[in-house]
């Protein structure tokens, strides 16, 4: 695994310098101590600390820095954009080829109010701040324990090892991602916000437009990938996840990074067919406290693992091939699911 020439980290708080390893990945506490191992998170309320804003008259692409976690956020103005796809790739969603990918058509033009979106996926370091605040649970794996799965064991210390502090946090379920965003004074994006942030207004196939995929545009299952379907025609430099911001040539029209590839991202939308209607219940927030996992008994109002309603993932991942790098791809799972390829970024309402 080679390192990119530069690693971009946008945080107000001090961070470490990192060395990229080609095989094992994982972090414990970034200060060298073990994070709390609570089985359920406390009640989460939005952190009301005011972010540092960009200019008073905002335009799409303006930025601000969160005072809570140091995340750089991008402003995206209100307006319509083209959502969905109807080309041959978009129609290739049969179960034998692409699992539970959801239909991406019909194509529609849809309005999105102004909003903020995180420029980067939330990192292990940033997530550790919420854990230390006793709000977030530590990731389900990656804390220095081998589990006997060849891929998961590559991530055995991915969260607990400071080497990976600026890599995207993984092994978080929907509720853990939601709770982090609330702690940071933000929220998870809904599906139409995510897609607009990823492609802009002109209906491009990828974050960078319609040009073909290249090594420097995103992290997917290339020649380094430890999966059987690794694509030996590409070399993006990483076997698994990459530090956030590693692929500037893959930035979206608004400047969002890693929105194609690296890790899947939770969004606060129930997987329902298009046309996309924000008033049909698909964007209804899930306010339940979280999931419970066997053999532990469920506490009041907790969601048993495997129960729905499901939630959408967006963005593709290091462990999938080029088909999944398209901005219109939709995947989904139960909210209690977690994986080494699944993380998140947050969004926020425009003031």
Is pLDDT larger for residue 87 or for residue 283? 283
Segment 136-143 shows an average pLDDT of 95
Question: Residue holding tokens 């073990």?
Answer: 34
At residue 100, the pLDDT reads: 67
Domain ranges of the chain: 58-133+167-351
Residues in the chain: 351
Contact 157, 143 (CB under 8 A): yes
At residue 296, the pLDDT reads: 85
Residue 52 has pLDDT above 60, yes or no: no
Q: What is the dihedral of CA 134, 123, 294, 307, to 10 degrees?
A: 110
What confidence category does residue 322 fall into, taking pLDDT thresholds of 50, 70 and 90? Answer: very high
Q: How many CB atoms lie within 10 A of CB 248?
A: 13
At residue 267, the pLDDT reads: 98
Phi-psi region of 193 (alpha: psi -120 to 50; beta: other; left: phi over 0): alpha
Task: Dump pLDDT digits (tens) for 242-265.
Answer: 999 999 999 999 999 999 999 999
**Residue 82's beta-bridge partner residues?**
109
Q: Is the pTM of this model over 0.85?
A: no
At residue 90, the pLDDT reads: 86
CA 181 to the chain's CA centroid:
12
Segment 172-193 shows an average pLDDT of 98
Considering the four listed CATH numbers 3.40.50.880, 3.90.1580.10, 2.60.40.730, 3.40.50.20, the one that applies to the domain covering 58-133+167-351 is 3.90.1580.10
Residue 40 has pLDDT above 80, yes or no: no
d(CA 202, CA 38): 45
């Amino acid at each position: 695994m080679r390192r990119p020439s530069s690693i971009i980290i946008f945080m107000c708080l001090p961070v470490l310098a990192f060395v990229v390893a080609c095989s094992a990945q994982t972090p414990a506490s970034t200060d060298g101590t073990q994070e709390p191992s609570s089985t359920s998170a406390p009640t989460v309320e939005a952190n009301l600390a005011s972010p540092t804003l960009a200019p008073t008259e905002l335009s799409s692409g303006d930025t601000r820095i969160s005072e809570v976690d140091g995340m750089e956020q991008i402003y995206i103005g209100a307006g319509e954009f083209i959502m969905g796809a109807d080309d041959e790739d978009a129609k290739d969603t049969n179960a034998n080829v692409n699992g539970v990918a959801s239909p991406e058509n019909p194509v529609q033009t849809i309005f999105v109010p102004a909003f903020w979106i995180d420029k980067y996926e939330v990192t292990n370091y940033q997530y550790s701040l919420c854990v230390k605040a006793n709000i977030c649970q530590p990731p389900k794996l990656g804390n220095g324990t081998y589990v006997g799965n060849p891929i998961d064991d590559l991530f055995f210390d991915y969260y607990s090892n400071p080497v990976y502090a600026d890599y995207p946090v993984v092994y978080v379920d929907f509720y853990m991602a939601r709770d982090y965003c609330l702690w940071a004074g933000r929220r998870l994006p809904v599906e139409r916000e995510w897609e607009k942030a990823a492609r802009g207004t002109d209906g491009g196939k990828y974050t960078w437009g319609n040009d073909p995929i290249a090594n420097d545009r995103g992290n997917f299952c290339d020649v380094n990938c430890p999966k059987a379907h690794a694509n030996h025609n590409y070399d993006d430099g990483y076997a698994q996840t990459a530090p956030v911001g590693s692929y500037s040539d893959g930035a979206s029209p608004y400047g969002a990074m890693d929105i194609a590839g690296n890790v899947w991202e939770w969004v606060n939308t129930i997987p329902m067919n298009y046309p996309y209607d924000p008033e049909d219940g698909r964007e209804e927030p899930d306010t339940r406290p979280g999931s419970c996992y066997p053999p532990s008994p469920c506490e009041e109002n907790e969601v048993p693992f495997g129960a729905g309603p499901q939630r959408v993932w967006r963005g593709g991942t290091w462990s999938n091939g080029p088909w999944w790098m398209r901005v219109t791809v939709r995947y989904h799972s139960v909210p209690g699911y977690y994986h080494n390829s699944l993380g998140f970024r947050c969004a926020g309402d425009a003031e």
